[in-house]
Amino acid sequence: MISIRGLTKRFGRTMALDGFTLEVQRGSVCGLIGPNGAGKTTAMSILATLQLPDEGDALVGGLNVVENPAGVRALTGYMPDFFGVYDGLRVWEYLDFFASAYYLPEGGRNRLIGNLLELVNLGDKGDCYVDLLSRGMKQRLALARCLVHDPEVLILDEPASGLDPRARAEVKEIIRQLGRMGKTVLISSHILPELAELCDRVAIMENGRVVVSGTVDEVTAAGSGSRLIVVEVVEGAGDLARWLAPRDGVSLAEADGRSVRVFFRGDRNEQAALLREIVAGGYAVTQFHEVRRNLEEAFMAVTGEVNGR
């Protein structure tokens, strides 16, 4: 449903996108992960036809975002990270305005708006003024606005940004519902555990390009062969982390209580050699084992390797 090949975008001397490539299948919920400045928002704004790429191609539903922007907009609902609301409008008037912008028949708008407000749990807020809503309510209203024209694709840039835990849970459940409705969703977020729950697939960005993508299981196993090793010691975990950090094959070493977590690029024989060196260094090791990484740990490992850390 979304097909991106070799997108490049420069802002002066800054390379925002550098050969960005991604495929999102119809009906999939795909999470886009990356540090600030990785190019997530630029990629999404190009998909939403708000910016033009310098090079490369992007298709939504088979339509080229440059050659047929009007067709892409008809297929797409876009929610930016920062959005404004119109002071003095009631909630139903806000949605009615956007319905009219999409030339939806006036006769069916009241029912449509009521259904959308029920979907985003704002059924009792139709007569409230938009600017008086809480941040979480405004986020949900923005989601409703994205759905006014019943788009096949949703592009959601940090939809849970700045929300409290209850509001995040509400937004997360709405996104789950949209996935069950068969919408194709591309979503960016810094809340990685929630993306792992929501998404069929994820893609990690760094320096304007995708460095790894796949299912959550595939991505958590990625990282150029690096493995997460936990070393538990009787004492001196902080000293051990500092001793390990500059060593070859180690991309991250951090202490947590009496344990040290290490991303180590080495096979089982090299792990055994590392353990021998730790013991020879005078550390009393009580456990040394490999554990499955979560999405946040995979992100740290993959982006660390890209930047040589």
Confidence check: pLDDT of 309 > 70? no
- The reply to whether 119 and 174 lie within a common domain is yes
Q: 3-class DSSP state for residue 302?
A: helix
Residue 37 in any domain: the answer is: yes
Close Cβ partners of 238 (under 8 Å, ≥ 6 residues apart): 255
Residue 145 belongs to some domain of the structure: yes
Please state the pTM of the whole predicted model: 0.75
CATH number at residue 282: 3.30.70
**Looking at the domain assignment, is residue 170 inside a domain?**
yes
- Give the tens place of pLDDT for each residue, 231-263: 999 998 989 999 998 888 887 677 877 899 888
What pLDDT, on a 0 to 100 scale, did the predictor assign at position 267? Answer: 81
Same domain, 48 and 27: yes
Work out the average pLDDT over 73-102.
90
Q: Are 247 and 193 in a shared domain?
A: no
Regarding whether 254 and 163 lie in a shared domain, the answer is: no
Identify whether 308 is part of a domain: no
Q: Is residue 200 part of a domain?
A: yes
Q: Report residue 34's pLDDT band, with 50, 70 and 90 as the boundaries.
A: confident
Using the structure block, give the residue that is written with the tokens 């409008």.
89
Q: How confident is the model at residue 305 (pLDDT cuts 50, 70, 90)?
A: low
In a domain, 167, yes or no: yes
Checking if the pLDDT of 306 tops 70, the result is no
Say if residue 209 is in the same domain as residue 277.
Answer: no
Q: Check residue 90 and give its pLDDT.
A: 96
Of 154, 186, 215, the position where a domain reaches its end is 215
Res 124: pLDDT: 93
Among 244, 239, 252, residue whose Cα is nearest residue 297: 252
Q: How many domains does the chain have?
A: 2
Domain assignment of residue 222, yes or no: no
Question: Mean of the per-residue pLDDT values for the chain?
Answer: 88
Is residue 268 classed exposed, middle or buried when 0-12, 13-18 and 19+ CB atoms within 10 A define those classes? exposed
Is 50 in the same domain as 165?
Answer: yes
Please report the pLDDT score of residue 293 as a whole number: 65
- Per DSSP, what are the bridge partners of residue 129? 90
Same domain, 176 and 240: no
Q: Identify the domain containing residue 156 by its residue range.
A: 2-215
Checking if the pLDDT of 298 tops 90, the result is no
Q: DSSP E strands: which ranges in the chain?
A: 2-11, 14-24, 29-33, 55-60, 63-64, 76-79, 153-157, 184-188, 201-206, 209-215, 227-233, 250-256, 259-264, 285-291
Separation between Cα atoms, residue 302 and residue 219, nearest integer Å: 9
What is the β-pairing status of strands 29-33 and 201-206?
A: parallel
Query: Which pLDDT belongs to residue 165?
Result: 82
- pLDDT above 90 for 275: yes
Say yes or no: 17 and 95 in one domain: yes
Confidence at residue 12, expressed as pLDDT on a 0 to 100 scale? 93
Same domain? 201 vs 284: no
pLDDT digits (tens, 9 = 90+) for 166-192: 888 888 888 888 888 899 999 998 777
Residue 307 has pLDDT above 60, yes or no: no
Q: What separation, in Å, do the N-terminal and C-terminal C-alpha atoms of the chain show? A: 35
- Between strands 201-206 and 285-291, the pairing is unpaired
Separation CA 132–CA 159 (nearest Å): 19
Which domain CATH number covers 201? 3.40.50.300
184 falls within a domain: yes
pLDDT confidence of 268, banded at 50, 70, 90? confident
More confident residue, 71 or 193: 71
